[in-house]
Amino acid sequence: MNKPGDTCLSLRRCLRTALLAGLAGGVFAPASAAEPGSMAAPFDVPGSGGQVRLADFRGKLVYLDFWASWCGPCRRSFPWMSQMQARYGARGLRILALNVDARRDAALAFMSDVPAQFTIGFDPAGKVAAAYGIKGMPTSVLISPDGKVMAMHAGFSDADKTEMEELFRRHLPDTDGSK
């Protein structure tokens, strides 16, 4: 039977162990494959309208979004991404969303509920997601027109929308071609 102070000592040991494990994980974890300034990993995947190749979007500002049908924030992000593509597409923004569901029918059911007005690709084996070091859904990667990773972000919220749209405005030319 535990004595009154045993639970506290046990809890302290658990917290200390968790802290050390977390620190060790940070030390030994591989660096993200999509570090800002590095070249974005190329990919060529099937899409809803043919093959989707990152190389085909060279010269454009690319918002690459990794998503899954079971992801609640992904459901909220689709209308915003459609809106951003409509608003900034003429200035050079391209939204690419790669689905990581193992079954394409789950992704198609999602898209029948939440239509996409941007490019969709399918990464059922997760090879592209692994190349980018994706650990959760949704995760977005902003890629410069010359193919370099500019920023990477996990999650989706109203604050994220504002911050990302500001990045789009800052890095896209004005309608007259100037920045």
Indicate the length of the chain as a whole number: 179
Domain ranges of the chain: 1-30, 34-171
Does residue 77 carry a pLDDT above 70? yes
Homologous superfamily assigned to 34-171: Glutaredoxin (3.40.30.10)
> Would you give the DSSP letter of residue 108?
H
pLDDT digit string, tens, across residues 116-170: 999 999 999 999 999 999 999 999 999 999 999 999 999 999 999 999 999 999 9
C-alpha distances in angstroms, 147 versus 23, 36, 69, 95, 150? 33, 11, 28, 14, 9
Q: Which helix (H) or strand (E) holds 55?
A: none
Q: Which helix (H) or strand (E) holds 1?
A: none
pLDDT digit string, tens, across residues 18-75: 333 333 333 323 334 679 999 999 999 999 999 999 999 999 999 999 999 999 999 9
**99 with 67: CB under 8 angstroms?**
yes
User: Does residue 6 sit in helix, strand or coil?
Assistant: helix
d(Cα 149, Cα 145) in Å, to the nearest integer? 10
